[in-house]
Amino acid sequence: MSPLPAGPDLSVIAPARDECDNLASVVQELADALDGLGIDYEIIIVDDASADGSPALLARLLAGHPRLRALRLEPPAASPRRSNGQSAAFKAGIDAARGRLIATLDADGQSDPADLPRLLALGQRTGAELVQGDRTHSRCDSFIRRLGSAVGRLTRRLLLGDTIRDTGCSLRLMTRDLALALPLEYRGMHRFIPLAARHLGATVIETPVNHRPRRGGRTKYTNLGRAWPGLIDCLAVRWMRSRRVDASPVELTGAQPQQIDRPHFETESPPVRQAVER
């Protein structure tokens, strides 16, 4: 276990790409949801190379929200018009976070910050390292978008044995150790966070969460834009899993050999549990 930082109990990380229309309301809703819990928290907005007014807006929001922090990812040098992607944004936020627990959600306003207190209570009651949100009962996207998600879910189940109902839901809560162990340095790995957590031996539970229509801005993804990269990512994760080596060293001493404690979690993947509490 890595030493805990001297910081808040909870870090909430929200990647943002051209979400100027939604940032102010997301930050305020997070504050409203968490202020009454009696915990110390921070909100980290990761601006992923936004080309709208997001940087200027964040500068103004920082003045009015003492618990708010803002990070900026510049566009990739090789593709100055592109973003770095959600995996890179989540990793930047996690690396900068100081909380004992890490929560994530999208900055588009479709995730409901009011669900966070229940995720916190559920994680504390069950001891799960990851509490994963499930939007399938309240999905507000179009039929075509929901169909694309269903096809992606079936593909992950067939290729990876992934039984997570809604791995694309960014509203989740996890321990700091687990968050730091996730391989988010690879583009597209944010789509496999629950599966990666299981591979690390973490206990994963799912719980229904609210999903809302987008109130401003525009979606960054289409079914065609997600399909081919998603398939490539599935194959890459399958290959990485087949090449993983779990070797446990034994330290040689003059007496009885001592097994060295392994960092993070055990290697066996416990089953995913579906939590239905509302």
| pLDDT recorded at residue 145 | 60
* Cα 185 to Cα 88: distance, rounded to the nearest angstrom: 6
- Cα angle value 107/18/23 (rounded, 5°): 40
Give the pLDDT of residue 114.
97
Instruction: Tell me if 9 sits within 8 A of 100, measured CB to CB.
Output: yes
Within 8 A by CB and 6+ apart from 77, the residues are none
Q: What is the pLDDT of residue 137?
A: 81
Question: Amino acid letter at 216?
Answer: G
Q: Above pLDDT 70, what percent of the chain?
A: 70
- Structural domains in the chain, CATH included, are 10-242+265-274 (3.90.550.10)
Is the CB of residue 1 less than 8 Å from the CB of residue 261?
no
Looking at residue 139, what is its pLDDT?
Answer: 59
- pLDDT given for residue 146 in this prediction: 56
Structural contact between residues 89 and 185, judged by C-beta atoms closer than 8 angstroms: no
**Which pLDDT value is given to residue 267?**
34
User: Does position 2 have pLDDT exceeding 80, yes or no?
Assistant: no
pLDDT at residue 66 above 70?
Answer: yes
pTM (two decimals): 0.76
